[in-house]
Amino acid sequence: MNDTAPQTAGGKVLWHFTMSLDGFVAGPNHEMDLMTGVSFRPGLVEEYVETTGAVLGGRDGWDHAAGDSRPYGGAWDGPIFVLTHHPEDATPADGVTFLNCGPAEAVRIGLAAAGGMNLEVFSPTIGRQLLEQGLIDEIDLHIAPILLGAGIRLYDNSGREPIHLHRVGEGDPTSAVNVRYRPAATAKTGAMR
Ligand SMILES: NC(=O)c1ccc[n+]([C@@H]2O[C@H](COP(=O)([O-])OP(=O)(O)OC[C@H]3O[C@@H](n4cnc5c(N)ncnc54)[C@H](OP(=O)(O)O)[C@@H]3O)[C@@H](O)[C@H]2O)c1
């Protein structure tokens, strides 16, 4: 199966998500059901745990994360920066710095803390702002085999110009990626259509 090469550390700004086939990174009310039952390629989590030096997120994602929830199920330990216009009412947490600054300044701070490893941006809204400023190096997506129909989109920017991308890897960078699915209820019959 075609797949991405393992991620490498290099002081990059990564917009990194597991995403539903229809482009949502969370369901309504920040539900994360899209992750349930998904199998990832062996070593995928370790790949990001080893190459990530810092994480930048938004206040909504942070506030909706359960309790002391940490990236990669706690397997990763490093500085987390949360962007908010009102850090004064945020609940302090170990290793978490609440920032009230522009997204470019947040990236500068995050990259400095990452010490040559990558800065992972775990926020659709901040990622969109960084894209507009040319500050996203790579978009790393794991497409979960699910259609959500509603929720928080990876990229919500209606009315703006499309952003053209180049696929990272071998071959034509403008090529489409082909995927094929069938509804799970019929997949177990193995029926050909
Ligand atoms: N599928 C995955 O792999 C994955 C991974 C990580 C996260 N997620 C999900 O992604 C969702 C993130 O939610 P979201 O995108 O709606 O919200 P978000 O980006 O987490 O938070 C938005 C908030 O961030 C703050 N913010 C954004 N830009 C700012 C700026 N320039 N200056 C100051 N503050 C700024 C604002 O907070 P204030 O209102 O406080 O000012 C804004 O309301 C969550 O549901 C999370 O669980 C999914």
Candidate CATH numbers 3.40.190.10, 3.40.430.10, 3.90.1150.10, 3.40.50.720; the one for domain 13-164:
3.40.430.10
Measured CA to CA, the distance from residue 139 to residue 82 in angstroms comes to 19
Regarding the beta carbon of 142 and ligand 1, being less than 6 Å apart is answered no
Region 143-162 average pLDDT: 94
C-beta 17 within 6 A of ligand 1: yes
Q: Is the pLDDT of residue 96 over 80?
A: yes
CA-101 nearest atom, ligand 1: 32
Q: What backbone torsions phi and psi does residue 68 show, to the nearest 5 degrees?
A: -90, 25
Tell me the pLDDT tens digit for each residue of 139-151: 999 999 999 999 9
pLDDT at 187: 54
Token pair of 115 as six digits: 């010490």
Confidence of residue 193 (pLDDT cuts 50, 70, 90): very low
The pLDDT assigned to 165 comes to 97
Share of the chain above pLDDT 70, in %: 94
User: Atom 38 of ligand 1 has which residue's CA nearest to it?
Assistant: 84
Give the residue whose CA is nearest to atom 44 of ligand 1: 61
User: So where are the chain's domains?
Assistant: 13-164
Q: Choose which residue among 83, 108, 129 to substitute to test ligand 1 binding: the one with the highest number of ligand atoms within 8 A of its C-beta.
A: 83
Q: Is 139 in the pocket of ligand 1 (CB under 6 A)?
A: no
Q: What gap in Å lies between CA 21 and CA 143, rounded to an integer? A: 6
> What number does the ligand 1 atom closest to the CA of 65 have?
47
Q: How many CB atoms lie within 10 A of CB 117?
A: 19
Q: What's phi and psi for 82, nearest 5 deg?
A: -120, 120
Q: Which of 17-26, 62-71, 152-161 has the lowest mean pLDDT?
A: 62-71
Report the nearest atom of ligand 1 relative to the CA of 99: 33
C-beta of 26 in contact with ligand 1 (< 6 A):
yes
Give the residue whose CA is nearest to atom 13 of ligand 1: 61
Average pLDDT, the chain: 93
pLDDT in tens, 113-143: 999 999 999 999 999 999 999 999 999 999 9
From the CB of 118, is ligand 1 less than 6 Å away? no
Q: Is 126 in the pocket of ligand 1 (CB under 6 A)?
A: yes
Mean pLDDT, range 71-92, rounded to an integer: 95
Tokens 């609440």 label which residue? 98
